[in-house]
Amino acid sequence: MELRPLGNTDIRVSEVTLGCWPIAGITSPGTNDEDSIATIRECFELGINHLDTAYCYGKAGESERLIGRALGTRRDEMVIATKGGLHWNDEGKMVHDARPAALRQQCQESLGRLATDRVDLLYLHAPDTEVPLRESAGELKRLMQEGMTRSVGVSNVSAAQLEEFAAECPVAAYQPAYNMLQREIEDDRLPWCREHGVAVLVYWPLLKGLLAGKIGRDHVFAETDSRRKYPMFLGQERQKNHELVDRLREIAAEAGHSVAQLTINWTIHRPGVTAALCGAKRPEQIRETAGGAGWRLSEEQLARIDRALAERGTPDTGLPV
Ligand SMILES: NC(=O)c1ccc[n+]([C@@H]2O[C@H](COP(=O)([O-])OP(=O)(O)OC[C@H]3O[C@@H](n4cnc5c(N)ncnc54)[C@H](OP(=O)(O)O)[C@@H]3O)[C@@H](O)[C@H]2O)c1
């Protein structure tokens, strides 16, 4: 597993990172603490040294608590990223609050849940329209100066917001959605980050499991599975996605890998991408995904993927970009 620089810091993160949203159990049915802890500990065996979580992953911080429990005395072997600025309100809705005082309080709570005195990377999870971005950025800079985080990142911002944030606070990492079917950042944010030495850690590389290739044509999502409402899993869009995955499966089989591994391999070798944040709730999932690193798709295979994507046409994932 290759370790890559986190922007201009001395921190290095594995090209495959464990995304710790599924273990929070909110959208992923069938999670339990035993599997979640085993999934986190599996990272040590796989050479994954980076965990991505957030203050709002779990209604009461379940994801951060599980990380604290799973790492125990091995905490310093992991680069831990968390995020602030979003939380669950009393009505059970996720809401923005990126005022400086809220960011500070959330950071303090996150450290307690993670059982650590500092995180390695603290992101602004998303901008808050009620709070000037520079105020949120300024507070994250202060938290870094006070030693509560070693570096700062920002997620879910436009190119202009990225620049505005960076003018106030040194940015080590940017975290956008990115995968074969969501490539908007290629036009502006990816080149900006390459030019400014900012690491890009992408979420939804497996597009909520679609690009892991294991959701069959007949699969019916459970009532509790939030994926059931997205256009990419409905009607014509779903049909086109299954056809795309079938073509990826052929290329993956030739390369001796699974569709999930091909997808991750494609992602981590895109110019400017530092790491893929791969969600998993069971050890075998992250073990499979980690097998997306350590080899290269050939030029001919990459060209066939390009053709399959072009012929699939512009997708409607229904997801925010
Ligand atoms: N900054 C942000 O706003 C933001 C937003 C979203 C995500 N993120 C980060 O990015 C990470 C990744 O996003 P994600 O977890 O939502 O989605 P993802 O990585 O695209 O997909 C994860 C899902 O894919 C399935 N999966 C994973 N490995 C698999 C395998 N080997 N075979 C078959 N299925 C597999 C699992 O679904 P099943 O439930 O079917 O097992 C898993 O829950 C998150 O965990 C989080 O850390 C950040």
- Whether 321 shows a pLDDT value over 70: the answer reads no
Q: What pTM was estimated for this model as a whole?
A: 0.96
User: Rounded mean pLDDT of 197-226?
Assistant: 91
Task: Give the pLDDT mean for 189-213.
Answer: 95
Q: What is the pLDDT of residue 318?
A: 76
Nearest to 264 by CA among 186, 179, 198: 179
Atom from ligand 1 closest to the CA of residue 282: 41
Q: Each residue of 56-97: pLDDT tens digit?
A: 999 999 999 999 999 999 999 999 999 999 999 999 999 999
pLDDT digits (tens, 9 = 90+) for 7-20: 999 999 999 999 99
Q: Whose CA is nearest to atom 24 of ligand 1?
A: 209
How many Å lie between the centroid of ligand 1 and the Cα of residue 195? 28
Q: What percent of the chain has pLDDT over 90?
A: 88
Q: Residue 162's closest CA among 195, 206, 203?
A: 195
Task: Report which ligand 1 atom has the smallest distance to the Cα of 53.
Answer: 47
Partners of 275 in the beta sheet?
201
Q: What are phi and psi of 13, to 5 degrees?
A: -125, 150
Ligand 1 geometric centre to CA of 288 (Å): 13
Residue 315: pLDDT over 70: yes
Residue 94 CA, chain-centre distance (Å), reads 18
Q: Is the pLDDT of residue 151 over 90?
A: yes
Q: How confident is the model at residue 29 (pLDDT cuts 50, 70, 90)?
A: confident
Phi-psi region of 84 (alpha: psi -120 to 50; beta: other; left: phi over 0): beta
User: What number is the average pLDDT over the span 36-51?
Assistant: 98
> pLDDT-derived band of residue 99, with 50, 70 and 90 as boundaries?
very high
Range 3-212+258-296 has CATH code 3.40.640.10? no
Who has greater pLDDT, 179 or 225?
Answer: 179
Tell me: pLDDT of 204 over 70: yes
Report which protein residue has its CA nearest ligand 1's atom 39: 28
For residue 138, count CB atoms less than 10 angstroms from its CB and return exposed for 0-12, middle for 13-18, buried for 19 or more: middle
Q: Where are the beta strands (DSSP E) in 22-145?
A: 50-52, 79-84, 86-88, 94-96, 121-124
pLDDT in the model for residue 295: 98
Instruction: State residue 40's pLDDT score.
Output: 98
Ligand 1 centroid from CA 198, angstroms? 23
Residues having CB within 6 Å of any atom of ligand 1: 19-22, 28, 52, 155-156, 175, 203-209, 212, 214, 260, 277-281, 285, 288-289
Residue nearest to atom 25 of ligand 1 (CA): 209
pLDDT score at 316: 83
Task: Locate 80 and state its tokens.
Answer: 């831990």
What are the sequence ranges of the domains in the chain? 3-212+258-296
Q: Catalytic residues, which ones? A: 57
Q: Do 48 and 289 meet the contact criterion of CB atoms below 8 Å apart?
A: no
Q: How far is ligand 1, taken at its centre, from the CA of residue 205, in Å? A: 8
Return the residue whose CA atom lies nearest to atom 28 of ligand 1.
Answer: 285
> CA-to-CA distance for 100 and 317, rounded, in angstroms?
34
pLDDT at 208: 87
In the block, residue with structure tokens 């990223």: 81
What's the chain's average pLDDT?
Answer: 95
Secondary structure letter of residue 253 according to DSSP = H
Q: What is the mean pLDDT of residues 261-283?
A: 97
Q: What is the pLDDT of residues 111-142, one digit of tens each?
A: 999 999 999 999 999 999 999 999 999 999 99
Rounded to whole angstroms, how far apart are CA atoms 11 and 31? Answer: 31
Of the two residues 267 and 208, the one the predictor is more confident about is 267
Kindly state the percentage of the chain with pLDDT values over 70.
99
pLDDT at 222 (0 to 100): 85
| pLDDT mean over 271-288 | 96
